[in-house]
Amino acid sequence: MTQNITWHAHQLSTDQRAQLKGHQGAVIWFTGFSGSGKSTIANALEQKLHALGVHSYLLDGDNVRHGLNQDLGFSDADRVENIRRVAEVSALFADAGLMVLTAFISPFQTERALVRDKLPAGRFVEVFVDTPLAECERRDPKGLYQRARAGEITQFTGIDSAYEPPSAPEVHLDAGNMSPQECADKIIQVLQSKGLLTP
């Protein structure tokens, strides 16, 4: 399918775009159950990055499914394709020098590894928002767990579809016992320690 396609090299390099912005591009990948706090923490982090003068963009799972991925359902195959498309977009944004924040359940380790492999070493930061399933169900901000338990939604992560937690995330958040601001501060510290942000 790609034999007639040739990669077009750009005149500007990734490093030149990063130099203009004053920081490297990277992908900060939030993963966890629905209701774990991924979007809330990502929003808190983006506000802190903005205050630091960091050029960023937040890709939220629900928002992306309203547009780019509106043709996809929630089967395992569609979930894989959902993350594949987001991986491509995220890698492009990071190459442009942006700090990309993504909030997706992204339940499968192989798909998260696919995103990591698309980026230069050190430019992918996996953030495991580790909130117990029982707490996510208690919160149930969108009423999805209740509907899944009632059989109105099928293939729902944590109920009748698997979630594979990260084995070695760069950031492991005990989000059931930390505020979104505390979680965002911890991520900032990790980004600084990895040289992606200036202390």
Distance in angstroms (rounded) separating the CA atoms of residues 76 and 78: 6
Residue 106 appears among annotated catalytic residues: yes
Distance in angstroms (rounded) separating the CA atoms of residues 125 and 134: 26
Sheet with 124-129, strands from edge to edge, namely 56-60, 99-103, 26-31, 124-129, 171-173
Instruction: Point out the catalytic residue in the list 56, 90, 106, 167.
Output: 106
What single DSSP character describes residue 31?
Answer: E
Measured in degrees and rounded to the nearest 5, phi and psi for residue 168 equal -150, 65
Please, which residues have CB within 8 angstroms of residue 44's CB and are 6 or more apart in sequence? 180, 181, 183, 184
**Quick check: 35 and 140 in contact, CB under 8 A?**
yes
* Amino acid letter, residue 90: S
The structure tokens 């890709």 sit at 59
Q: What residues act catalytically?
A: 106
